[in-house]
Amino acid sequence: MVAPLFSSKLLLVLLFGTLFGLVLGVLPGLGPTTGGALILPFTMTLDPLSAIILLTSIYCAGTYGGAITAVLINTPGTPAAAATCLDGYPLAQKGEAGRALGMATVSSTVGGIFSVIVLVFFAPILANLAYEFGQPEYFALAIFGLTMLASIGDGSPIKNLIAGAFGILISTVGKDFMTSIDRFTYGINELSVGIGFIPVVVGLFAISEMLTQSTLLDQVFKRVALKAVKLPTKDDYKKTWKTILRSSGIGSFIGVLPAEGGTVASLIGYSEAKRFSKNPEEFGKGSVEGIAGAEAANNAATGGAMVPTLALGIPGSATTAVILTGLIIHGVRPGPDLFKEQPEFLYGIFGAMLVANVLFFIFGFFGAKIFARITLVPNKILWPMIFAVSVCGTYSLSQSIIDVWIMLFFGVLGFFMRRYGFSVVPVIIGLILGELVEGTLRQSIVIFDGNWLMFLTRPIALTFFILSLIALAFPLIRSKKNKKII
Amino acid sequence: MNNVRDKKRANKSLPFFFRTEFKVFFAIILVSTILLISTFSFDTVPPILNRGIQPATFPKGLLVLIIGLTSIIYYLSFKKPWKKEKSLPKPFFLTILSFIIFIIISKTLDFFLAISVLSIFVSYYWGERRIFYLLLVSIIFPLVVFIFFEMILGLRFPPGIITNLYYY
């Protein structure tokens, strides 16, 4: 599996991706999604395998990198590390920052490797199943993916659905791909080709975060000193091995479902670790089980999220939506045929993810202290630089200044969406699934000769529709318990 | 305790249209309605070319869904206690202003000049006063980015008063 990686170029790409991912993960506000979107234009100079290896290594390392800032400055570097703060920072405050980071590093690595194994075994099975899928089944599957955003996505279920529908609506801008009729173009020629994925992602993640940072300039981080990262002791392993395995399973499963990937996985991993713990009272006060539960789960979601991305072309998280775009830009069509026609390409990706998990363990273990220093770069210097790269990166893909303005528009929109409790991730998922949803719906209607009820005669499609209904009903049931639906 | 009382009082004394939920609801409904109306002006295709549904049908359905879901949120928000939003600080508005300046300069003068102006503007108003760092973010870094994109990626940037010095 790692044999295709034995080339100096690919190893270099993998090293760079892991280091870059760690830097992105450490910096609060950035992360693998934003970083992946920013680096996507640069991948145009690479061959497809190198490009996807770069993106996946950023994904794996970036997800882990968030834990370093979560433990040392009580600010998650990535949203997926939010649950790590709960016990990582209290443990660091007790003078055990090295132990906290050691546990985070080990559990992230185990979770990550576990999920790659899941990916290697389940992606081909899912791809084989996908041979049975026709247009109606793909439509039902895409609808199921979108409804899952409401069910297990982070935040309000209804707001997630609105954001998802908005994402699909964005995908309808431009010439209708079946009839070539302009939609929402308002006479602007540049909009005829539609709204690109990169301007929207960079806007919603990087530019909106820049605006968020402009409101937090008086925020002071309390930094905890770190001497060295320590490997967990025998006692720590005894305490946490079950938690790590459980969270790895939870994370991989959540990752496979199209939702917010690592963020949701880490929260569920953490709460399950607490539920099964013999010492639940220690949670929130510096429990190593809490750190292990959250970190194993969020890294396990990386491999899980790649399963539907590669097997079906349906992203499991926002970052895999960026990876999916990378695949499409480089002319690789994800789906069952990819497994049949280019297995060496897939083995390259699997191997790269495996090696990336080992690399971030080494870098994290020996270099966490150095990476933590990156957070010392002040926002007033960092963000203008990120802006420059965002603008040039967005411009470079189709060399259109309109794309830059679209990016700024989505930046402002993303800021207000977050301010009023709307997650931006469903917009990304909706945008990437939009063409699939509309295309398969219209083709299905042609197949069924306009008879919508024919959807119910297809067993696989019907199963997905029933699952979608369950996914929609689940938040209502859950809201009875915790009153959170809006 | 006082805080709770103030919140209750604020909730009662303020008309409904000052509530954050109403503002969000109003903005979404207004934009969605305008977009929905615009879908009626989309061209239609004759039945022989029409594959399944008309091009406007799918966006119409999405907009109706968005309006419906937003109405549900607004209805449910009545049950929630009123929460006063923190007002946005001055640097936020200055950053938005810098975006507008960026658009104007990039359209009329030069793309890279626009990046430099935005960088120095944002960095300064976010609190940076050291000349070296202001020069770093406004001149040195954009120059590095330009060279990187131009030489390594072979990208051609839009013409402008500064970019033309390089190209011609």
The ipTM (two decimal places) reads: 0.88
Same domain, yes or no, for B162 and B106? yes
Domain boundary among B46, B77, B108: B77
Q: Mean pLDDT highest for which of A87-96, A225-234, A277-286, A350-359? A: A350-359
Is the pLDDT confidence value at B2 over 60? Answer: no
Return the percentage of chain B with pLDDT > 90, whole number. 44
pLDDT confidence of residue A372:
77
Please give the radius of gyration of chain B, using alpha carbons only, rounded to the nearest integer. Answer: 25
Instruction: Say if B15 falls within a structural domain.
Output: yes
Q: Is the pLDDT of residue B3 over 80?
A: no
Q: Express each pLDDT in B70-109 by its tens digit.
A: 998 888 877 776 666 778 899 999 999 999 999 999 999 9
**pLDDT value at A486 more than 60:** no
pLDDT classification of A3: cutoffs 50, 70, 90: low
**Greater model confidence, A299 or B12:** A299
In a domain, B140, yes or no: yes
- What total number of domains does chain B contain? 2
From chain B, the residues in CB contact with A51 under 8 A are: none
**Residue in B42, B53, B99 closest to A408 by CB:** B99
- Residues of B within 8 A of A420 (CB-CB) are 20, 24
pLDDT 10s digits, B110-124: 999 999 999 999 999
End-to-end CA distance of chain A: 45
Contact A298, A63 (CB under 8 A): yes
Subunit contact B52:A396, Cβ cutoff 8 A: no
pLDDT band at B1 (very low <50, low <70, confident <90, very high): very low
Q: What is the pLDDT of residue A134?
A: 85
Inform me whether the C-beta atom of residue A392 falls under 8 Å from chain B C-beta atoms.
Answer: yes
- Tell me if chain B has a CB within 8 Å of the CB of A383: yes
pLDDT in tens, A370-423: 877 777 788 899 899 989 988 988 888 888 889 999 999 999 999 999 898 888
Give the residue numbers spanning the domain of A362.
3-482
Q: Does A449 reach chain B within 8 Å, measured CB to CB? A: no
The predicted pLDDT at position A16 comes to 93
Q: B53 and A445 in contact by Cβ < 8 A?
A: yes
Interchain contact, B126 vs A217, CB within 8 Å: yes
Residues B62 and B122 in one domain: no
Residue A456: is its pLDDT beyond 50? yes
Lookup: tokens for B115: 């990046």
In-domain check, residue B20: yes
β partners of residue A182: A175
Contacts of A387 (CB under 8 A, 6+ apart): A206, A207, A210, B115, B118, B119, B122
Q: Return d(Cα A473, Cα A467) in angstroms, integer.
A: 10
Q: Please give the DSSP secondary-structure letter assigned to residue A319.
A: H
Q: Is B68 within the bounds of a domain? A: yes
Place of tokens 């997650």: A423
**Residue B85 covered by a domain:** no
Strand partners, A28: A30
Q: Which residues of A191-216 are buried (b: 16+ CB within 10 A; e: fewer)?
A: beebbbbbbbbbbbbbbbbbbebbbe
B33 interface with A at CB cutoff 8 Å: no
Report the percentage of chain A scoring pLDDT > 70: 94
With cut-offs at 50, 70 and 90, classify the pLDDT of residue A172. very high
Q: How far apart, in whole angstroms, are the C-alpha atoms of residue B123 and residue B129?
A: 8
Closest residue on chain A to B45 (Cα): A179
- What pLDDT sits at residue A405? 93
* pLDDT for the residue numbered A352: 92
CA distance between the termini of chain B: 70
pLDDT tens by residue, A419-448: 988 888 889 888 888 888 888 888 888 888
Within its chain, how far is the Cα of A429 from the centroid?
10
Task: Note the pLDDT of residue A1.
Answer: 57
Residue B14 has pLDDT above 80, yes or no: no
pLDDT of residue A483 exceeding 60, the answer is no
Whether residues A408 and B85 touch (CB distance < 8 A) is answered with no
Residue A119 has pLDDT above 70, yes or no: yes
What average pLDDT does this structure show over A217-246? 82
- Least Cα distance to A162 among B39, B62, B57, B36 occurs for B62
* Chain A (87-116) residues lying within 8 Å, Cβ to Cβ, of chain B: none
Q: What is the per-residue pLDDT across A285-313, written as a single tens digit (0 to 9) for each?
A: 889 999 999 999 999 999 999 988 888 88
Q: So what's the pLDDT on residue A103? A: 92
Answer yes or no: do B94 and B163 share one domain: yes
- Same domain for B53 and B100, yes or no, is no
Q: Tell me the average pLDDT of chain A.
A: 86
The pLDDT of A13-21, averaged and rounded, is: 93
Q: With residue A124 as reference, give the H or E element that holds it.
A: helix A97-129
Contact in structure between A442 and A178 (CB atoms under 8 Å): yes
Together in a domain, B113 and B160? yes
Higher pLDDT, B64 or A481: B64
Question: C-alpha angle with apex A449: A443 to A452, nearest 5 degrees?
Answer: 80
User: Do B67 and B126 belong together in one domain?
Assistant: no
Q: How confident is the model at residue B50 (pLDDT cuts 50, 70, 90)?
A: low
User: Count of domains in chain A?
Assistant: 1
Rounded average pLDDT over A328-342: 86
Q: Which tokens go with B67?
A: 């309006």
Euclidean distance between CA atoms B121 and B100, whole angstroms: 12
Q: Of B27, B47, B77, which residue constitutes the final position of a domain?
A: B77
What is the extent of the structural domain holding B73? 2-77
pLDDT at A412: 96
* Same domain for B95 and B55: no
Find where tokens 């935040």 sit: A155
Signed CA dihedral, A371, A375, A377, A383: sign only: positive
In this prediction, residue A484 has a pLDDT band, given cuts at 50, 70 and 90, of low
Assess whether B23 and B53 both reside in one domain.
Answer: yes
Q: Does residue A397 belong to the interface with chain B, where contact is any CB pair within 8 Å?
A: no
For residue B12, is pLDDT > 80? no
Residue A334 has pLDDT above 60, yes or no: yes
Per-residue pLDDT, A97: 85
What pLDDT, in 10s, does the model give residues A81-100?
888 888 888 888 888 888 89
Residues of B in contact with A380 (CB under 8 A): 122-123, 126-128, 133
Residue B38 maps to a domain: yes
Q: Are A273 and A246 in contact (CB under 8 A)?
A: yes
* Closest chain A CA to residue B19: A420
